[in-house]
C-alpha cells in the first residue's frame, strides 16, 4: 500500500502498529512463561510472571489513547479506519489474555508441586495449541494475511475437544482420591483459562480478517460487506 | 470552472466502474459507442431520477469525461468526489445542460431525466434548468436586488408569474431556515447578508422555481463550520422532496450528507456505491488511496 501524503499521519499509524505489536509480543511472552511454569511446576517463574503483567496494562492504556487521538484528529476511513477500530478491540482481547496468563501462574503457585498425571499433560497440549493460535493470529496481523487468520479461527475446535476430555479425566481422579480435590479443581481452572486463551486468539484472528478484507466472519456470519442490510 | 485535467487522455476507460454489485437489481444494459456492453446500476428498490449513459464530454479536442454510466437515485443525495480536474464539476454541469454554454464544449452519450433525453431536439434547455436547479460554490445573490427580489429572481427572469409572491418569499425563506433571521429586513440588499446566509438565500432562489433536482457545486467551500452545518442540515431536509447531487472536496461532508458516493478520477467514474460502503470498504485501490489520503 502507498504511504500517506501526510507524513505525520503516516508516522502516527506506524507508532500505533508498533505499540500493538509490542503488546502482542509481550502477551505472547507472558503466556509462554505461564505455561512453561505450569509444565515444569516452576513456582518462582510463575511468581515472576504475575509481576510482569503491569507492562501489558500500560500498553493497553497507551494504545487506547493513540487510537482516540487518531480518530478525533484524522477522521480515518477505509483500511485505516478498520485498522484503528480493530486495534481498539484487539487490545481488550490481548489484555484479557495477559490476565489469563496471570491466573494460570497464580494457580501454579497455589499448586506447588503435584504428582504427574494425564490431565497435566492434556492441559499442556491445549496450552501449546492455544499459544500457537495466538502466535499465528499476531503474525497474520503483522503481515495482513487474512487466510492465515481464518485458519487460526478454525483451530479453536481442537482446543475445545481437548477441554472436553479434561472433565472426565479430572472427575475420575477426584473420585479415586478425595485428597486430590484441591489440586484437581485448580487444574480444572487452568484448563478453563487455556480454553479461553484460545477463544481470545480466535477473536483476534477474526478481527484480522475484518481488518484486511472488511469481511465480518464472527459468530459464523459471513457478511460480505460492511453494514450491508 | 474546472475544465478537467490538462493531461486527460482520449483513451478508453480501462476498467469498468466498481460498486453496487449486489444492488444492481434494476440495472439498465447499454451498448457503448465503441460496441462494448455496460450497465448503469440502480440500487435495489430505488429509481433513477437522472441516468447518464456513455457520457463523453469534450472541450475542443480534449475529452474530459470518458464515458460515465451513472444513475442518480431519486429522492437521495449523491456526492461526487475526486481530485481537482477529475471531471466532477463538468459532470455536474452537464446534468442541466450548463456545460454546453462554455465555448468549444461538446457532449456525447445520453442524459436521461425521468427517462427523457435532455438533449432531444424538442427539449428547451431553459426548461431543463428549471427542473434541474443549481447552487454554486461562491454564494452569488444578485447584488443590486433585495433579499425578497433575490428569492423571486428566478420566477421573474423566467417570465413566470407567482400569484402570491409574499407567500413564495416566506415559504422559500422558511424552507432554508432564513426567514426568522431576515423577515424584518426583506428590502435589504442580498449581499448585506453573511456568507452562510447568502448561500441559503441562493438555495431559496433555486427552490422558488420548484425544481425536481438540485445540483450543488461545492456549496460550503466558502463557508465557516457553523454555516456549513446549517447548509448540511438543510440538505438532509431537502432530500425528502428533491433529488440532490453535490460535488465536494470535503470527504467528511460527503460522509455526512450523501446516501451514495461516486468517485471520479481522470475523467472516469471509478466507483459508485452506498456512502458507508465507500468510506469503510472501497473496492478499488484508487478509491482507497484517494479517500485515505495516499495520493501523489
Q: What global pTM score does this model have?
A: 0.82
- Tell me how far the alpha carbon of residue A126 is from its chain's centroid: 13
The C-alpha of B244 sits at a distance from chain A's nearest C-alpha, in angstroms, of 23
The C-alpha of A20 sits at a distance from chain B's nearest C-alpha, in angstroms, of 21
* Pick from B252, B288, B296: CB nearest A78: B288
Q: Is residue A229 part of a domain?
A: no
Q: Is residue A1 part of a domain?
A: no
Nearest Cα residue to B17 out of B62, B52, B63, B61: B52
Would you call B280 and A226 a contact, using CB atoms and an 8 Å cutoff?
A: yes
Task: In whole angstroms, give the CA distance from residue B259 to residue B261.
Answer: 7
How many domains is chain A partitioned into structurally?
A: 1
Mean pLDDT across the stretch A87-94? 96
Q: Is residue A227 part of a domain?
A: no
Q: Is residue A225 part of a domain?
A: no
Contacts of A80 in chain B (CB under 8 A): 292
The predicted pLDDT at position B147 comes to 96
Task: In whole angstroms, give the CA distance from residue A53 to residue A47.
Answer: 11
Q: Rounded to 5 degrees, what angle do the CA atoms B232, B51, B84 make?
A: 55
- Sequence-separated (6 or more) residues with CB below 8 Å from residue A97: A27, A31, A134, A197, A200, A201
Task: In whole angstroms, give the CA distance from residue B137 to residue A52.
Answer: 59
* Residue B142, CA distances (Å) to A60, B133, B139, B188 in order: 58, 16, 10, 12
**Cell matching residue B278:** 465507500
pLDDT digits (tens, 9 = 90+) for B21-57: 555 456 677 888 888 888 888 888 899 999 999 999 9
Residue A119 burial (CB count, 10 A): 22
CB of B36 closer than 8 Å to CB of B67: no
Mean pLDDT across the stretch B111-125? 93
Q: Is residue A61 part of a domain?
A: yes
User: In which domain, by residue range, is A88 found?
Assistant: 7-220
Domain containing A58 — which CATH number?
Answer: 1.20.58.220
pLDDT digits (tens, 9 = 90+) for A170-184: 999 999 988 889 889
* Residue A73, CA distances (Å) to A8, A30, B101, B209, B232 in order: 12, 34, 42, 41, 21
What are the b/e assignments for A97-109, b being 16+ CB within 10 Å?
A: bbbbbbbbbbbbe
The C-alpha of A13 sits at a distance from chain B's nearest C-alpha, in angstroms, of 12
Task: In whole angstroms, give the CA distance from residue A91 to residue A99.
Answer: 12
pLDDT digits (tens, 9 = 90+) for A117-166: 789 999 999 999 999 999 999 999 989 999 999 999 889 999 999 999 99
On whether the B28-291 domain is CATH 3.40.50.300, my answer is yes
- Interface size, chain A vs chain B, as Cβ–Cβ contacts under 8 Å: 53
Element housing B197 (H / E): helix B195-208
CB of A194 closer than 8 Å to CB of A104: yes
Amino acid at each position: 500500500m502507498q504511504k500517506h501524503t501526510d507524513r505525520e499521519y503516516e508516522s502516527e499509524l506506524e507508532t500505533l502498529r508498533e505499540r500493538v505489536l509490542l503488546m502482542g509480543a509481550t502477551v505472547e511472552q507472558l503466556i509462554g512463561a505461564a505455561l512453561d511454569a505450569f509444565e515444569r511446576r516452576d513456582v518462582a517463574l510463575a511468581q515472576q510472571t504475575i509481576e510482569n503483567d503491569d507492562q501489558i496494562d500500560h500498553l493497553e492504556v497507551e494504545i487506547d489513547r493513540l487510537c482516540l487521538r487518531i480518530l478525533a484528529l484524522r477522521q480515518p476511513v477505509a483500511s485505516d479506519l478498520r485498522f484503528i477500530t480493530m486495534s481498539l478491540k484487539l487490545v481488550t482481547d490481548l489484555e484479557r489474555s495477559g490476565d489469563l496468563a496471570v491466573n494460570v501462574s497464580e494457580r501454579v503457585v497455589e499448586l506447588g508441586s503435584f504428582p504427574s498425571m494425564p490431565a497435566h499433560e492434556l492441559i499442556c497440549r491445549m496450552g501449546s495449541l492455544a499459544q500457537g493460535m495466538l502466535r499465528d493470529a499476531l503474525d497474520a496481523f503483522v503481515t495482513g494475511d487474512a487466510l492465515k487468520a481464518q485458519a487460526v479461527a478454525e483451530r479453536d475446535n481442537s482446543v475445545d475437544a481437548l477441554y472436553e476430555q479434561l472433565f472426565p479425566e479430572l472427575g475420575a481422579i477426584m473420585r479415586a482420591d478425595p485428597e486430590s480435590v484441591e489440586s484437581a479443581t485448580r487444574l480444572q481452572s487452568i484448563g478453563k483459562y487455556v480454553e479461553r486463551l484460545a477463544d481470545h486468539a480466535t477473536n483476534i484472528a477474526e478481527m484480522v480478517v475484518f481488518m484486511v478484507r472488511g469481511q465480518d466472519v464472527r459468530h459464523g456470519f459471513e457478511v460480505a460487506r460492511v453494514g450491508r442490510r | 470552472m474546472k475544465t478537467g485535467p490538462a493531461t486527460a487522455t482520449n483513451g478508453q476507460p480501462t476498467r469498468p466502474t466498481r460498486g453496487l454489485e449486489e444492488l444492481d437489481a434494476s440495472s439498465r444494459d447499454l451498448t457503448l459507442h465503441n460496441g462494448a456492453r455496460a450497465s448503469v446500476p440502480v440500487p435495489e428498490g430505488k429509481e433513477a431520477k437522472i441516468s447518464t449513459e456513455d457520457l463523453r464530454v469534450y472541450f475542443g479536442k480534449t475529452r474530459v469525461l470518458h464515458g460515465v454510466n451513472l444513475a442518480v437515485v431519486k429522492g437521495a443525495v449523491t456526492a461526487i468526489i475526486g481530485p481537482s480536474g477529475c471531471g466532477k464539476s463538468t459532470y455536474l454541469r452537464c446534468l442541466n445542460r450548463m456545460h454546453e454554454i462554455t465555448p468549444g464544449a461538446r457532449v456525447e452519450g445520453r442524459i436521461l431525466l425521468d427517462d427523457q433525453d435532455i438533449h432531444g431536439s424538442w427539449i428547451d434547455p431553459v426548461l431543463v434548468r428549471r427542473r434541474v436547479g443549481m447552487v454554486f460554490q461562491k454564494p452569488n445573490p444578485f447584488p443590486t436586488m433585495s433579499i425578497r427580489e433575490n428569492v423571486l429572481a428566478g420566477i421573474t427572469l423566467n417570465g413566470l408569474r407567482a400569484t402570491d409572491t409574499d407567500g413564495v418569499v416566506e415559504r422559500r425563506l422558511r424552507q432554508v431556515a432564513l426567514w426568522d433571521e431576515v423577515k424584518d429586513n426583506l428590502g435589504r440588499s442580498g449581499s448585506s447578508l453573511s456568507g452562510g446566509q447568502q448561500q441559503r438565500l441562493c438555495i431559496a432562489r433555486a427552490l422558488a422555481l420548484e425544481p425536481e433536482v438540485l445540483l450543488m457545486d461545492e456549496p460550503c467551500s466558502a463557508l465557516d463550520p457553523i454555516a456549513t452545518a446549517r447548509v448540511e442540515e438543510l440538505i438532509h431536509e431537502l432530500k425528502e422532496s428533491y433529488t440532490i447531487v453535490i460535488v465536494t472536496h470535503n470527504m467528511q461532508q460527503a460522509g455526512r450528507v450523501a446516501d451514495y458516493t461516486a468517485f471520479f478520477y481522470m475523467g472516469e467514474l471509478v466507483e459508485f456505491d452506498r456512502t458507508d460502503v465507500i468510506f469503510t470498504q472501497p473496492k478499488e485501490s484508487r478509491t482507497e488511496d484517494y479517500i485515505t489520503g495516499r495520493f501523489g
